[in-house]
Structures are given as structure tokens and as C-alpha cells.
Amino acid sequence: MSRYLLLALVVLGALLAPMLAQNPTPASRIGFVDADALIQAHPDYRRVQDLQAQARREIAPLEERLRPLDQKVRSGQATARERQDYEALLKTYQDTVRKWQERQNPVLQPILEEVDQAIARVAKAQGFSVVMSRQVAAQSGLVVYADENTDLTQAVIRELRR
């Protein structure tokens, strides 16, 4: 019985092959963008930079104070008082970083959404079905080679400036 089933599948495959060959699926075009460049090219990115500068002014002194304590704690040479100071300062540092991230996110989120929409418009207009971050593709090893004609970064920047 299994011989007949196998023979039927082979015959069916032979009959369907010409029909499938006549209707090939169109090749998908894959594009790439420099996501960081797109975010930085957004007209409202200046607000993010201003927040980052404010954050750096508040965080830098904390980092300066943390660095020597961190070295002592890691080397095992810190006194009990220094470990206590380190823990308190580390908590202040983490809370400060979190505070600035929470301030930055509401400003950055609409920019990210607009960048994504601009990428989608450009990709659709140019016939790309998939667009990937060039940095992520390179770091992951997912893409070994990509023709420069697949880079949509400049077209998306022009779209953002409209």
C-alpha cells in the first residue's frame, strides 16, 4: 500500500511542478538602515540631547566619587565604612540614572515611532519587504554581505525632514 501512496505523490509532484514554476514567488527585498543616524537626524532629537547633557552634569560627579570606592571594594581593600558609603552612593547613582531615563523616554518614544513610520513609508515606496538595523545585523552575524544599494538611511532621513 505504501508503494502506491509514494507513486501517487511522485506523479502529483510531477504534475504540479510546471504550475508552480509558472507562478514563482517574487523575491523579497531586504534593506538596511543606520538606526542611530535616523534617530539623530530627527528634528526633535535636540530635546533628547539637552536632557542627556543635563543628565551627564548630574551623573558625572557621582561616577567620579564611585570610581575609587568601586576599585577598593572590588580589590577587597575597602573598610566597612567605605563599603557602606559605596552601597549608598551606588543606590543614589542608580536612582539618578533611572530618573533621567524616565525623563528621556517620553521625549524619545515619539521620535522612535516617527522614525519607524518613515522607514515603513520609504521601504514600501521602494519595494522593500524587510528593513533591518545595520548595526544589529552586523553585531549578530546575521548578515554576512549587503549591497550598498540596500541602505535606506539617506532616503529615510529625507522623509523625516519633510
d(CA 128, CA 121): 10
Residue 4 scores a pLDDT above 80: no
SS3 state at 79: coil
Domain-located, residue 11? no
Q: pLDDT by residue (tens digit) across 104-115?
A: 999 999 999 999
CA dist 84 and 67 (Å) reads 15
| Residue 85 included in any domain | yes
CATH number at residue 95: 3.30.910
pLDDT of residue 104: 96
Range of the domain at 103: 24-160
Task: Tell me, yes or no, whether 48 lies in a domain.
Answer: yes
pTM for this predicted structure: 0.73
Cell (9 digits) for 109: 518614544
pLDDT computed for residue 45 by the predictor: 96
Question: Would you say residue 15 lies in a domain?
Answer: no
Is residue 97 one of the residues assigned to a domain?
yes
Read off the pLDDT of residues 12-31 as tens digits, 9 standing for 90 and up. Answer: 445 455 555 555 566 689 99
